[in-house]
Structures are given as C-alpha cells and as structure tokens.
C-alpha cells in the first residue's frame, strides 16, 4: 500500500500543538476481516482513524430489476439471497407480503410453524455474528463450536425443504408439504441440546477479561443518532431503543407468544454482542412455546391455506375437480395474477426491519419491488461510529454490526 | 396488516392540509397505509414539519425509494415511508417529477439515513436530489452511463452469446 | 476418584498393525538408501497434499465454505489447514460467490498477484457462469477475466460437492507437468485474458 502524505493540518497558531500527517489506508474489498465485500478507505492519524470513505456495490446483483420480470412465487429464491445467513426469515417475509396483497388468511398451525422456522433462522444468524465477533478478537474456538450448532439447524431445514443455506422454504399460503417425523425429531433433539452448547460459548466470552476490554466502549452510537440514521434490529436495541417489529406490528401470531426484547445501554460492541446473545435465548423460548402449542392442537395435518390460486391443489382434487385442474395449470404456467395495489410489509429480520414494498399493476409480475434492507441503512453510520478509534476496534465494530454483503447490495 | 391509529391519521391529514394546502395533491388510504402525494418542491418542508410536530412525531424514516411510470407525464416518483414509533403509525409520502425537471429536494437535512437511500435512487433512476452532500452512484460501477432501473432498459447482460433468445421468450 | 476410573479403562495402544493409511509413493526405482522417481511426481505429491487456499468468498457460497472448513466437513484433512489471505502466499484461488462487474478487475488483480504455480476453482453457479443472475451488473462467469481449472456447480454447492472439487484440483496438481507453466500454450492462455 503506498503511503503518501495526504493531509497536513497546520495547527501552528495553537500553542503547543503538533502538525498531524495523515495516512490513507485501504481496507479493501478483499480483506479477511471484512466478512463480505466492502471497501473502506481510511484516513488515519497513526493508529487512530480520522475518517472512512466507504464503497459498496461489489456484489450488486440487481434484485429489484430481476423481480420485475418474475412471477410472485419465482421471486422467492431471490429473497433467499438477501441475508443469506438467515434466509428463512426473508422467505417468510416475502410470503407474508404477497399474502397481505392477496388477502389470504393463514391457518394458526401454519403460522406457528412459520414462527419456528423464523426463530431457528434467527438463532443461526446470531450464532454466526457472535462467533465472528469472537474470531475478530482472537477467540477462534467459539466459531468452530457454533458452526457445529449451525449444522444441526441446517439438518432441520434440510428435512423440511431440502436445502441447507438458501432454503426457499415455504410457499405463498403455507408450506409445500407437511413436516415429516424426522424433522420433528431433529427439532426436539436440537432444542434439548442447544442450551448447553450456548452456555459453553457464553462461558468462553461473556466474562472473559480480554473480550470485555476489547469490546466495551468500542464503536458506540447514541440512541438519537441511531434513530436518525434509521437503525433497526439488534443494533438499535443495543443503543437503548426497544423497537422490535414483532412487538410493534405483530405478524404471524407473534402476539400469542411471551418473550422479552433485550435492550442495551451504550450501543457499543459489547452491547450488540450481549443483545444478540440474549435474543438467542428468547428465540429458543419462543420455539419451545410454539412446539408446545402445536403439540396441543388436534389438527396435525394443515400445512397451507385454502387458496387455490396460489397454492397447488392436492392431486386428488386435480384429477377430479375442474376448477382445481384449471388452477393447477394456471399456477404452473405462471399465469395467476395478483390484484392491483401497493403494499409495504415488514418482518423482524435478524438484522432489523426487513421491509418489502410491492406495487402491483394486476399482471403476473410485480410492477415494482423494493427491499428495505436493514444492513444498507445502518452501514451508513459506520464512519461515525469508528471516528477516533483504533483500526482493530474498527474491524470489531464492523463484525458486531453484522453487515451481510448480500443484503447490503441486493 | 398494520393497525390504523385513526385518531393520528385524521390529525395528520388535517395538519398537512392546513399547513400545505395546495401543495398536498392527493390523499388516500391504500390497504392499510395512508398515502399523501405532494408537489416535489415542498417535500423537505413536509418531512421537517412531520418530524418537529409534538403530537405526530414521525421521527423515523423507514424507507425511501424511486419508481418509474413511463406513461405518465410526471414519470419519476420518490416514495417515502415514515414511521411514528410513539403513536405506532406509518404513512407513505409520494412526490413525482418529470423527465426534464428531475430534481427533488433532499431529505438528508431531516434524516441522516436518507443519504444512501437517495444515492441508490439516483443510481437506479437518475433522480437528482438537490442539496445532497455526496450524490454519486453507490451500487453500480462509477462509469455507468445510464440509469438501469428505468423501464426502457433491459435486465440481461448484453454480452452473452450462448443464450438463444427464442428459447427464453425474449 | 476420577483417576481410578480412568485406570480401569482399557487403553488401546498405537502399534504398527493398526490400520493407518498413508499416501502411496510414486512409481520408481529403489534400492538400499535411495529411491529414484520422476521429479514431477514427487513434487506433485507434495504440492497436492499441502495446498494453501485463498478463500475469495463474496456471498452465500462463502458461508457454505465456512461450513466446509468447520469441523463437521473439515477441509483441513486435505492439507488445507492454513488459509492464506495474501495472494502472494497462496496456491489455490477459491472464488466463492457472485462476482459483479465492479469486482471483476479486483479479482483479476488478485489472480495476477499470485505466484506460479496457481490454480483456480470456481465454486458455485454464480462464479461458474453468472448463476441465476443474468443481469447487467453481474459478471457471467469468472472465466471471462481469469482462467479457471475446476468448476463446482450448485447454488450453493453442498460441502461434499466443494470437497469433490478440491479433490479434482488435487488430481490436477498431482499430474501437472513441471514445464506446463513455461509452455507456449499456457502463455497463450494467459494472453487471452490480457495477463502477461
């Protein structure tokens, strides 16, 4: 990296001041510590950061333009690839948006199943984020243990939808098939074994002197600044604002569940880590409640809403009923149209409020789709959060903010 | 569905009508969200008014995006979604601009978070936000010379020679 | 207490008749105190089992790579314990994830900075051919900017598939001739991409 004299501030009129020489350091798009492709050109005064100029867009895949050319159910694999660490939440968010536009009523059983899937994805994403904060402070062990837990979650997803990471789970109206016995067995086994593993991970870091020194007061942001920038999710809650879409605008029967929303005080890295840790415990409690509620229900076979236009009808009906045959044909050919309208719907993604703004003109593809991506909005505040801090602290701030490149650039 | 706080919604409509009168072009409630269309010149003032008002308190900018209706006279729209956390009410604001007069005042004076969202809208549609501190392309390559989300431009990469357009219905 | 419990357990000693597999030696002439073989084969054997990969992870395939590195699928069994993020010290460039047109020149620069011999594996559909993103902003396959040795399809490929790709790279490394990097065909290949 070429080091050039970029800026000299002449402070000779201030008695006793030194002349500062700034150095430009490129923390480039391919950097092992930036978990994703974003570039920061930092202006540094020795080891302290004065300013950072950000460049993003290295993985811009034009999701919004693609979505204008795809039928509503074909946009599902696109939403996977937004926040790929927790794709089921994106999938469910999309389903709920289209169902809102269509006015489909989802049965309670399906809603509880969706809650389980979303909370599992939230646990998976917070696992990655927290273990990566550990890696960046030097604690590589936590990462290897937590990825083993992620494997168990992958297995559960695989039993339900066939894929590990980019799940495309569920369909508009519910799920593609009922969950098999193996999925339930694996889910219950996971819920039994995970608390002990999470406690092990916490034991490594939560009261570790080195970790506390590295993360307390690093990359702080105040609640007013965070709100002005449009922060949502764990980053906002760490700053002290208790805004959670699941509580403010409940969707998918979240009002039936009893959980707390953990909130921090200073908005620094330690608070973000702790908020995510606490949220993992809350997610497990929600999943246990959902499993209990599903066990208590007599109905064990509904897995989708009764809407022929968007849900493939059962094969017996297709062979015997004219309307079902027509709907089956229309859907497979991609000819089912959505009524005109405009909708904004949001879910609580792992990083914050993931919003979908859909404008439909009555055709088979949307007229405009806009994804309100939380990462994109809160990453703007990064230069302000790292002003005056050391370079290694800036790295930890970025990893604790959980910036996922796919969601940043869409 | 977002619950409609009817008291706040009617208060919002009343205050906007009384303060902005002619510049408020239309108001409607589409599904579960009240939507107000304004003349583009006054949008920064509207946002500042809604932010400062002590009862309404729309102090969170959820989203800012653009839209292109090539068949209308005012082709380009900018859509704002505001959220009042204390009253738990969301509203949508819309402004429209014509192709030859594609300037909209910036919202960065009120919300810092609008910075990148406006850059993205500029990158995709070419809408120029007057007063923006750093209006450059953000997601596409810096030397791109067209605005890709406009309806007249194709999605596909033009350099592929192995895809036969007949098979793909293009 | 604990000690006496452990002393009661049967301990299995490592003796020479335990089944340990080691890599087969290449064909050659051997006698007392010497073993003569083809230099390329010996070097190939050493290289294939100690590749230093450079994970160029951009998106979802990068997370599957992290899962492949993690203990469940363990890429370190194949000698890839040490990841090198510096291109100068890397042998294998693993491109995992979508490469946008903005990222293309950077990818080429990273490739040029790698020292010979170097191999490239394109993991995932996006790196191989643009994947599901046939758009104005995505590079339709990294073989438009750098020469690729092995393509691993999948979206994202399962860790077993990534390991399959790595094994294929290892076969390539094993059987590579020492003169390949100096041959006119290789120079022509690089010239096609504008790399000197």
- Specify the 3-state DSSP secondary structure of B96: strand
Is C135 close to B156, i.e. CB distance below 8 A? Answer: yes
Q: Where do we find the tokens 């729209």?
A: B77
Q: What is the CATH number of the domain that holds B72?
A: 3.30.460.80
Higher pLDDT, A375 or A309: A375
The whole-angstrom distance between A249's CA and the closest CA on chain B is 6
Domain assignment present for residue C8? The answer is no
Residue A355 has pLDDT above 80, yes or no: yes
Q: Residue C53 has which token pair?
A: 């990969």
Residues within 8 A of A (CB atoms), C 84-113 only: 85, 97-98, 100, 102-103, 106, 110
Q: Positive or negative, the Cα torsion across A176, A181, A185, A186?
A: negative
Q: What is the ipTM of this complex?
A: 0.93
Q: What is the predicted pLDDT for the residue at C1? A: 41
Is the pLDDT higher at B157 or at A295? A295
The answer to whether the CB of A194 falls within 8 A of the CB of A187 is no
8-state DSSP, C169 = H
User: Tokens 């394109």 belong to which residue?
Assistant: C122
Query: Does residue B73 belong to any structural domain of this protein?
Result: yes
- Tell me, yes or no, whether B23 lies in a domain: yes
Place of tokens 């569905």: B1
| Residue C152 located in a structural domain | yes
Residue of A nearest to B142 (CA): A57
pLDDT above 90 for A337: no
pLDDT in tens, A341-352: 999 999 999 999
Note the pLDDT of residue A190. Answer: 95
- Residue C55 counted as domain residue: yes
**B74 and A CB contact within 8 Å:** no
A65 chain-C contacts, CB cut-off 8 A: 135-136
Q: Could you say which architecture CATH assigns to the domain A63-409?
A: Orthogonal Bundle (1.10)
Domain of residue C85, CATH code: 3.40.50.12280
CA dist., res. A82 & res. A410, Å (int): 6
Q: Which element (helix H / strand E) includes A322?
A: helix A322-333
Is residue B152 in some structural domain? no
Residue C11 located in a structural domain: no
State the pLDDT at residue A36: 81
- Domain membership flag for residue C118: yes
User: Cis omega (within 30 of 0) on the bond before C156?
Assistant: yes
Report chain A's mean pLDDT, rounded to a whole number: 88
Instruction: Per residue of chain C (196 residues), give pLDDT as tens.
Output: 444 455 555 666 656 666 777 777 788 898 999 989 888 888 998 999 899 999 999 888 999 998 998 888 988 888 888 888 899 999 999 999 999 999 999 999 999 999 989 999 999 999 998 888 888 899 988 989 999 999 999 989 999 999 999 999 999 999 998 889 899 999 999 999 888 6
Q: For chain A, report the end-to-end CA distance as a whole number of angstroms.
A: 30
How many structural domains comprise chain B? 1
Long-range contacts of A137-143 (CB under 8 A, 24+ apart): A137/A210, A137/A211, A137/A214, A137/A215, A137/A396, A138/A210, A139/A204, A139/A205, A139/A208, A139/A211, A141/A204, A142/A201, A142/A204, A142/A205, A143/C70
Q: Is residue B80 part of a domain?
A: yes
Rounded to 10°, the helix A108-137/A269-296 angle is 150
Nearest to A113 by CA among A165, A161, A74: A161
DSSP secondary structure letter of residue A390 = B
Eight-state DSSP code of residue C158: P
Q: Where are the beta strands (DSSP E) in chain C?
A: 28-31, 34-37, 53-57, 92-96, 119-123, 150-152
CB distance C79 to A153 below 8 Å: no
B21, part of any domain: yes
- For A205, the token pair is 């870091």
Is residue C127 classed as helix, strand or coil in its secondary structure? helix
Q: Each residue of A84-98: pLDDT tens digit?
A: 999 999 999 999 999
pLDDT digits (tens, 9 = 90+) for A204-223: 898 899 999 999 989 999 99
Quick check: is B1 in a domain? no
- Which structural domain range is residue C125 located in? 39-192
Q: Residue B11 sits in which domain range?
A: 6-130
- Reference A345, options B32, B8, B58; nearest CA is B32
**SS3 assignment, position A142:** helix
Q: What is the pLDDT of residues A119-170, one digit of tens each?
A: 999 999 999 999 999 999 988 888 888 888 899 999 999 999 989 999 989 8
Q: Do B62 and A341 touch (CB under 8 A)?
A: no
Is pLDDT above 50 for B7?
Answer: yes
Residue B70 belongs to a domain = yes
Number of independent structural domains in chain C:
1
């Amino acid at each position: 990296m070429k080091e050039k004299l970029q800026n000299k501030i002449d402070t000779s009129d201030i008695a006793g001041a030194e002349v500062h020489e700034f150095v430009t350091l490129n923390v480039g798009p391919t950097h092992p510590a930036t978990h994703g492709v974003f570039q920061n050109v930092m202006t540094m005064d020795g080891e302290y950061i004065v300013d950072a100029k950000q460049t993003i867009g290295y993985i811009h895949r034009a999701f919004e333009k693609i979505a204008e050319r795809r039928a509503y159910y074909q946009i599902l694999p696109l939403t996977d690839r937004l926040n790929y660490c927790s794709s089921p939440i994106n999938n469910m968010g999309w389903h709920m948006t289209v169902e809102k536009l269509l006015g489909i009523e989802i049965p309670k059983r399906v809603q509880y199943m969706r809650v389980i899937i979303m909370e599992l994805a939230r646990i998976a994403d917070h696992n990655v984020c927290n273990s990566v904060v550990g890696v960046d402070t030097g604690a590589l062990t936590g990462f290897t243990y937590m990825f083993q837990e992620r494997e168990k979650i992958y297995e559960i997803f695989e039993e339900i939808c066939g894929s590990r990471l980019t799940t495309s789970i569920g369909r508009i109206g519910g799920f593609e098939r009922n969950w098999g016995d193996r999925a339930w067995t694996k889910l219950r086994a996971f819920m039994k074994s995970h608390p002990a593993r999470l406690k092990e991970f916490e034991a490594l870091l939560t009261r570790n002197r080195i970790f506390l020194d590295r993360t307390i007061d690093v990359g702080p942001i105040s609640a007013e600044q965070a709100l002005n920038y449009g922060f949502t999710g764990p980053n906002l809650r760490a700053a002290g604002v208790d805004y959670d879409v699941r509580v403010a605008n409940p969707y998918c029967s979240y009002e039936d569940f009893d959980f707390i929303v953990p909130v921090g005080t200073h908005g620094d890295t330690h608070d973000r880590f702790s908020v995510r840790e606490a949220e993992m415990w809350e997610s497990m409690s929600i999943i246990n409640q959902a499993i209990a509620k599903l066990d208590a229900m007599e109905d064990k076979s509904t897995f989708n809403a009764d809407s022929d236009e968007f849900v493939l009808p059962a094969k017996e009906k297709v062979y015997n009923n004219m309307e079902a045959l027509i709907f089956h044909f229309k859907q497979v050919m991609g000819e089912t149209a959505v009524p005109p309208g405009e909708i904004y719907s949001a879910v609580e993604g792992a990083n914050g409020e993931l919003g979908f703004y859909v404008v439909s003109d009555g055709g088979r593809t949307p007229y405009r789709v806009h994804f309100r991506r939380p990462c994109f909005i809160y990453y703007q505040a990064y230069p302000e959060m790292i002003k005056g801090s050391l370079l290694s602290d800036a790295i930890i701030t970025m990893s604790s903010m959980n910036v996922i490149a796919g969601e940043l650039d869409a | 569905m977002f619950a409609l706080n009817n008291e706040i919604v009617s208060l919002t409509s009343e205050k906007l009508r009384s303060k902005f009168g002619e510049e408020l072009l239309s108001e409607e409630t589409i599904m579960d969200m009240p939507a107000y269309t304004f003349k583009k010149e006054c949008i920064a003032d509207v946002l500042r008014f809604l932010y400062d008002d002590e009862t309404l308190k729309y102090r969170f900018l959820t989203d800012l995006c653009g839209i292109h209706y090539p068949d209308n006279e005012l082709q380009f729209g900018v859509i704002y979604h505001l959220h009042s956390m204390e009253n738990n009410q969301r509203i949508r604001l819309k402004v429209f601009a014509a192709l030859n007069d594609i300037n909209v005042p910036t919202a960065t004076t009120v919300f810092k978070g609008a910075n990148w969202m406006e850059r993205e809208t500029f990158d995709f549609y070419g809408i120029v936000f007057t007063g923006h501190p750093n209006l450059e392309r953000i997601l596409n390559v810096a030397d791109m010379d067209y605005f890709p989300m406009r309806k007249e431009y194709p999605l596909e990469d033009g350099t592929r020679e192995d895809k036969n357009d007949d098979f793909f219905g293009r | 207490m604990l000690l006496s419990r452990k002393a009661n357990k049967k301990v299995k000693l490592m003796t020479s008749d335990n089944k340990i597999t080691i890599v087969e030696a290449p064909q050659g002439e051997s006698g007392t105190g010497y073993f003569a073989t083809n230099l390329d084969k010996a070097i190939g054997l050493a290289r294939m089992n100690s590749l230093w990969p450079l994970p160029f992870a951009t998106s979802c395939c990068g997370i599957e790579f992290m899962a492949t590195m993690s203990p469940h699928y363990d890429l370190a069994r194949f000698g890839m314990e040490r990841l090198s993020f510096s291109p100068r010290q890397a042998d294998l460039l693993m491109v995992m994830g979508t490469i946008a047109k903005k990222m293309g020149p950077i990818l080429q620069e990273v490739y040029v900075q790698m020292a010979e011999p170097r191999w490239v594996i394109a993991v995932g559909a996006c790196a191989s051919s643009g994947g599901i993103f046939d758009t104005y902003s995505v590079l339709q396959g990294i073989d438009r900017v750098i020469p690729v040795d092995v393509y691993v399809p999948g979206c994202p490929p399962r860790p077993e598939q990534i390991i399959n790709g790595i094994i294929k790279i290892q076969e390539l490394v094993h059987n590579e001739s020492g003169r390949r990097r100096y041959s006119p065909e290789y120079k022509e290949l690089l010239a096609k991409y504008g790399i000197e």
